[in-house]
Amino acid sequence: MGAYVLRRLLLMIPTLFGILLVCFVIVQFVPGGPVERIISQLTGQGGNAMDRISGGGGDIGQAQDQLGTGLGNSKYRGAQGLDPAFIASLEKQFGLDKPPLERFGLLVWNYIRFDFGRSYFRDISVIELIKEKLPVSISLGLWTTLLSYMISIPLGIRKAIKDGSSFDIWTSGIIIIGYAIPGFLFGIMLIVFFAGGSFFDWFPLRGLTSNNFSQLSGFEKIVDYAWHLVLPLTAILLSAFATTTLLTKNSFLDEIRKQYVTTARAKGLSERKILYGHVFRNAMLIVISGFPSAFISIFFTGQLLIEAIFSLDGLGLLGYESILNRDYPVVIATVYIFALIGILMTLLSDLLYTWIDPRIDFERRDV
C-alpha cells in the first residue's frame, strides 16, 4: 500500500500542472480582464476605480490626469482617449506586461512554493484571504459531510432490512420531498420561521459566532458555535443525505439478494452476523466510492447560495465574487486548492476501501 500511495502522490504533480495550464489558458481568452475592468470604472464610475487603483499600488493623481488626455489605439475595449503609458502601468501592476509563457512559468514556480500572489482588487495576499474565509467552509463542509453520513448509512441499512414495509415507504416519501426542495429555498423558509422572520426568533441570522464570542467560556463558545450552525447545516443536509441514503439502501439490497447471503443463512449464521460481517463491507464500497465527489460538492460548490442567505463569508462566495471581479489570482488559487483537496479525498477513498475490505490490494493493479 505504501508504494501505491507514493505513486498516487507523484501523479498529483502532472494533474495539478494540467489544472494550472487549463486555468491559465482560459484566463487569457476570457473578455473583461482586470485592466479592462479598471478602464471601465475609470470612464464610468471614477470614484470606485480610484479606490481600487489606490489599493493596488497605483497613483490616483496619474489616473485622473490620463482620463481623456491620450490618443491612439489600444487592445483594450474602452481605452481610447487614455494615455498608452498609463495602460502600460496598469499592465505592469497586474503582471500582464510579460509574455504569456513567462507568466505561466512564474505561476507554476510560485504555486510549487504555495505562493499564490496578491489579490488584484483587495490589498491582501491570496493565501491570507483564503485563510480568512476557510473556517466557514470547513465548518459547513466538515459537519455536513459527517452528519450526512451518520444519518444516511444507518437509515439506508434500516430501509434495506425493512424493504417494502411502512417504515420504508414513509421514509422514502420524506427523502424524496426533501431532495426535491432546493437547499437555498429551504434556507429561506428556515429564516422566515426560526430566525426573526414572521414567527420565531430562535436562531441567529448571520455569522458563525456572536459578537461577544471572545468573552465566552469554553463550553459557551461550543454552544454558541453550534447555535449559529443549526440553520445553515439543516438547509444543506436536507438534500445532502437523500442521495447517500438511497444509494446505501440499494447497495445493501443488491448484496442481500446474492447467493453468498443465502449460503450464509443456510449455514445458520444470524442475520446480524450476515449483515455486518459479510454484507456491510461489500455494500459500503459503492457508498465510499462516492465520498470524494460528495465531499467536494458539499465543501465547495453547494455552499454559495447558503453562504449568501445566511451571511457566511466563505470560499464559495469568495470564488464567485472573484470570478465576477476578474480577480484571477484568487480564482486560480481557489481552483488549485479545490483540486488538491479533491485528489487527496480520492486517495483517502482508496485507503478506506482497503480498511473496509482487506481483500482489496491496489498494489497489484496498475495505477
Cell reading at 186: 429551504
Mean pLDDT, consecutive 10-residue stretches, the chain (367 aa), reads 76 88 84 72 54 46 46 54 72 77 89 86 84 82 83 88 89 86 84 80 81 84 88 82 83 86 85 81 73 64 74 80 84 85 78 69 55
Specify the pLDDT at position 367. Answer: 43
44 within 8 A of 96, measured Cβ to Cβ: no
Specify the pLDDT at position 318. Answer: 82
Round to whole Å and give the CA distance between 354 and 52. Answer: 52
Which residue, chain included where needed, has cell 442475520?
Answer: 271
Is 41 in a helix, a strand, or coil? helix
Specify the pLDDT at position 365. Answer: 53
Specify the pLDDT at position 78. Answer: 54
Specify the pLDDT at position 134. Answer: 81
Residue in 149, 139, 234 with CA at minimum distance from that of residue 194: 234
Q: Which residues contact 40 (CB under 8 A, 6 or more apart)?
A: 78
Phi, psi of 33 (to 5 degrees): -70, -175
Round to whole Å and give the CA distance between 93 and 53. Answer: 9
Phi, psi of 233 (to 5 degrees): -65, -40
Specify the pLDDT at position 293. Answer: 63
Specify the pLDDT at position 334. Answer: 84
Specify the pLDDT at position 7. Answer: 80
235 within 8 A of 187, measured Cβ to Cβ: yes
Cite the beta strand spans of the chain per DSSP E: none
Specify the pLDDT at position 58. Answer: 46
Specify the pLDDT at position 295. Answer: 66
Cell reading at 281: 463491507
Cα dist from 118 to 87, 130, 215, whole Å: 20, 11, 33
Residue in 344, 224, 248, 243 with CA at minimum distance from that of residue 302: 243
Phi, psi of 118 (to 5 degrees): -120, 150
Specify the pLDDT at position 72. Answer: 42
Cell reading at 169: 415507504
Cell reading at 100: 504569456
Residue in 247, 248, 241 with CA at minimum distance from that of residue 174: 241
Phi, psi of 357 (to 5 degrees): -130, 95
Running DSSP on this structure, what letter comes out for residue 146?
Answer: H
